[in-house]
Structure 1
Amino acid sequence: MATLRSLRRRPRRLRRGDTVAVVSPSWQGADVFPARAERGIADVASWSGLRVGPAATPDGHPAGSRQARAAQFNAALRDRDTKGILWMIGGLAATELLDLIDYEAFAANPKVICGYSDATVLHHALYARTGATTFYGPAVLSEFAETGGTPPFTRSSFLDLTMHGWTGDFPRSAEVYDEFVDWAGEERPRVAEPAPARTVLRPGTAQGPLLPACVPSALQLLGTPWLPDHQGHVLALEFANDDGYGPAHAARDLWQLRHAGLLDGIEGLVMGRPRQWSATARAELDRILLDVSHGLTFPIVTEFEFGHTDPVLTLPVGVPVQLAGDNLRLLEPAVR
C-alpha cells in the first residue's frame, strides 16, 4: 500500500459560515439519543458560527453497516463544500473501516477532523497515510451536548485550535466534571470539582510532533499498514473509562505498547487525566508508567486535560510541541 505522506500538512482553518459535517464511523449513538444529538449540534453551531449538521449517507448500504459508515465518512472527505468533520461519538468499530477510507481524497484536500476515543483509529490511519493534521478533541454527543452547554474551557480550546491558528501554552483547567449523569436519566448539569494538578512523573524537556491517542484504540493498528511511526513524537496517551477499565487494564495495554517498540525513540509522554479513578488507582498508574518505561529517559507528565475527561483540550496530530516540566507548548499553528 503506497504512502501519501507529506510531512506536517495542515488543513485550512475553519471560518464562521463554513459547513461542518457530523459523522458516526463507530457507534450510532445519535439513534439512541436523538434529542441529545440535536442539542450538541445546535450548541456548537451557536458559539462557533459554523453550519453544523449530520453528514449524508449515500444510498445502497444497510444503515449502520461498515459500508454505510465508510460511505458517510468518505462523502464528507470528498465534498468540497464541507470544510470540517466532527465525530458524533466514539465506539468500538472504527477499525472496520480502515480498508474503505478514501485516503487520497483527504490527502488532496485536508480538512479539520475532530473526535476522540475510537476516533484514534482513523486519526492515526489518516496521519500514517497522508501526514496531514487532524484533531483529538471533543465530540458532539458527549462534550458539545453537555447539559447546560459546552464548558467554556472545552469551547475555547476547540476554537483556538481549529479556527484561530493559536500557538502557545496549553491552558490548565482549575475544575473537572468527574460526575456521571446517565444520558437516559436525569437531565442536569454536572457538578464541578477542583481538578488534580498536572504532575511531573519524570522531569525533563522534549520537543517533537504531537501524537495523541486512546491506548486501547491505538493498539488496534499494530501489525497493520495504517500504524504511524511513533519515533520522534511526543505521545499524548489516555484511556477510556468504559466497562471498569482500571490500572490492570492500563498495565496490560501499556506493556503491549512497550513490547511492540512504540515507546522506543519517543521524545516525551503526556498522560491524560483518568475519569473517575481513585487516588489509589492514580498512584498505581504512576507506578506502572515508571515500570513500563524503565531504561527509557523521556519526560512524563500526568493528569493532562484531554481525552475522557471534562472539560477537555483539543490536541492537534502531527504539529510540533515542546514539553517542559508540566507545561506543553504548541509551537506552530495547527491550521492554515
Structure 2
Amino acid sequence: MRQTRLRPPRLKAGDGVTVVSPSWRGGEVFPQRAARGAADLTARTGLRVSISSVKPGLCPESRAGRAEEFNRAVQDPATRAILWMIGGLTASELLPLIDYEAFGARPKVLCGYSDATVLHHALYARTGATTFYGPALLSQFAENGGTPELTMDSFAELTMRGWTGRFPTASEVIEEFVDWADDSRPRRAVPALPRKALRPGLAQGPLLAGCVPSALQLLGTPWLPDYRGHVLAFEFTDDNGYGPGQAARDLWQLRHAGLLDGVEGLVLGRPRGWSDAQREQLERIVLDVCHGTAFPIVTEFEFGHTDPVLTLPTGVPVELDNTTLTLLEPSVR
C-alpha cells in the first residue's frame, strides 16, 4: 500500500494555472465557453488561468504535440497548477512521453477527471504524488450561470486551503443536457438522490479515484498503481450507450484482474442520467462482483461525471464510515 507524502504546494491568489488538453481539444471547438470558464475560475479564486496551446510546428492532435504541451506545463516554474480542459479518449497515447521525473521532483496541483484517470494513476504509480480527480475547465468551470458552489468550493478548499473533514453532500444535481453550441441559459437543477450504503462498514486508507473504463486501460502496463490498501472512488463514463451492462463488463474485469483484492472500501460515483431501474441493476451487479469481499460500499457519491462535483485527492488518507467520507490529512503542503 502506497501512503504518499509527496503533495504539491497549496495554491494562493495570483498563482498561475495552465489549462492543457491531453485528450480532446474541446477548447478549440468551443473557445468562448473555455474563456468563460477561465474567467469564472479567475474571478472566484484569484488564480491566474491561461489556456495552453501546442508548440508551433507540432500537430495539435498528435501525441507528440499533446505530450509536449503537458510536459511544458509540468516543467514551467510559473505554472503552479495544471487543469484539464476536458476528457476524451486518447490520454493513454501519452503515457511513454510524460516527464515523470520532472513531476516527481516538483509536484503541482493537477486536476481533471474521466480520461485524465490514466495520467493521474500513472503519475501516482511512478512518483507517489498526490493529484486531484475533480472538475475540468470546459465541463465544470464554464457552466452558464457560473460554476456550482459545491464544485468551486471543494476545488478551492482542497487545493488552496488545505481542508480536511467530511466531504459535503449535494442537495441538488444538474443532469439536463444543453448543447454547448447554444448554451444560452443555465441548466436546471433537480433534487439529488441521497448516498446509499450498499454494504455498510468502516474503512481507512489512502484514496484512489478514477473512471473505471479509463483505469482499465492501464491493465498489464507499468503505469498501473497498486490498489491494495486503498479506498477506491470509482465512477463511470456518461458516454452514449454506457449503462449497467457496460458497467458490469468493466467491474468484472477489475475483479478478474485481482484489482479489488485487498482494497479497503469502494465509493461509487453518481451515474449521470440513469433511471431508478438502472441504478437498482447497478447495485445488484456491484454486490455480485464484490461477493466474497468484506469492504464497505457506498453509491451515489458526488464526483466524476456529475454536477456539482467534489474534488478528490489521490493518495491522501480517508475514512469511509457508511455514507460519510472524511479526509484525514491536507492534500497540499
TM range (shorter): over 0.9
Distance 2:277 2:184 in 1: 31
Give the C-alpha shift of residue 6 in structure 1: 8.3
3-state secondary structure, aligned to 2:120: helix
1:14 to 2:43 alignment: no
Report if the CA contact (8 A) 1:6-1:132 is conserved.
no
Partner residue, 2:138: 141
Answer yes or no: is the 8 Å Cα contact 1:56–1:75 preserved in 2.
Answer: no
Aligned match of 1:78: 75
AA matched with 1:236: A
What CA distance in whole angstroms lies between the structure 1 residues aligned with 2:56 and 2:330? 38
Residue in structure 2 matched with residue 90 of structure 1 by the alignment? 87
Change over 3 Å in CA distance of 1:203–1:19 after alignment to 2? same
Aligned: 1:251 with 2:248: yes
Give CA-to-partner distance per residue, 1:272-328, whole Å, 9 cap, x none: 000000000000000000000000000000000000000000000000000001000
Partner of 2:181, secondary structure, is coil
- Kept in 1, the 8 Å contact 2:3–2:315? The answer is no
Aligned residues: 332
Q: What is residue 314 of structure 1 aligned with on the other side?
A: 311
2:41 paired with 1:40:
no
Asked if 1:131 corresponds to 2:92, the answer is: no
- Pair 1:202-2:199 in alignment: yes
Given candidates 153, 158, 164, the residue that maps to 2:155 is 158
The alpha-carbon deviation at position 63 of structure 1 amounts to 1.9
Distance across 1 between alignment mates of 2:4 and 2:47:
28
Structure 1 length-normalised TM: 0.97
Match of 1:235 in 2: 232
Moved more, 49-58 or 70-79: 49-58
CA distance in 2, matches of 1:187, 1:318: 39
What amino acid does structure 2 have at the position aligned with 1:264? D
Q: Which residue is equivalent to 1:282? A: 279
User: Contact conserved, 1:6 with 1:130, CA < 8 A, in 2?
Assistant: no
1:333 aligns with 2:330: yes
SS in 1 for 2:102: helix
AA aligned opposite 2:81: G
Letter in 2 for 1:199: K
- Measure how far apart 1:54 and its partner are: 1.2
Residues 181 and 190 in structure 1, CA contact (< 8 A), matched pair in contact too: yes
Match of 1:68 among 51, 65, 69: 65
Code of the residue aligned with 1:73 in structure 2: it is F
**What is the rounded CA distance, in whole Å, between the counterparts of 2:17 and 2:176 in structure 1?**
30
Q: Which amino acid aligns with 1:40?
A: G
Report if the CA contact (8 A) 2:3-2:206 is conserved.
no
Which secondary structure does the structure 2 equivalent of 1:99 belong to?
helix
Match of 1:298 in 2: 295
Q: Are 2:235 and 1:222 aligned?
A: no
2:109 aligned partner, one-letter code: V
Task: Tell me the SS of whatever aligns to 2:55.
Answer: coil
Tell me the residue number matched to 1:111: 108
Amino acid in structure 1 at the alignment position of 2:226: D
Offset of residue 178 of structure 1:
1.1
| Aligned partner letter, 1:13 | R
Kindly state the Cα deviation for residue 55 of structure 1 after the two structures are TM-superposed.
Answer: 2.3
- CA 1:79–1:15 in structure 2 vs 1: closer, same or farther (change >3 Å)? same
Runs (5+) with no aligned partner, structure 1 = none
Q: CA deviation at 1:81?
A: 1.2
Mapped to 2, the partners of 1:91 and 1:59 lie a distance apart of 23
1:186 CA drift (Å):
4.1
Kindly tell me: are residues 143 and 186 of structure 1, through their superposed partners in 2, closer, same or farther at Cα, counting changes over 3 Å? closer
Among all aligned residue pairs of Structure 1 and Structure 2, give the percentage whose two residues are the same amino acid.
69
Separation in 1 of the partners of 2:31 and 2:57? 23
Question: Does the aligned pair in 1 maintain the 2:23–2:91 contact within 8 Å?
Answer: yes
Q: Which runs of 5+ in 2 are unaligned?
A: none
Runs of 4+ deviating beyond 3 Å: none
Structure 2 length-normalised TM:
0.98
Q: Hey, what does 2:180 align to over in structure 1? A: 183
Q: Distance in 1 between matches of 2:58 and 2:151?
A: 35
Return the offset for 1:56.
4.4
Task: Please say if residues 13 and 47 of structure 2, whose CA atoms lie closer than 8 Å, have aligned partners that are also in contact.
Answer: yes
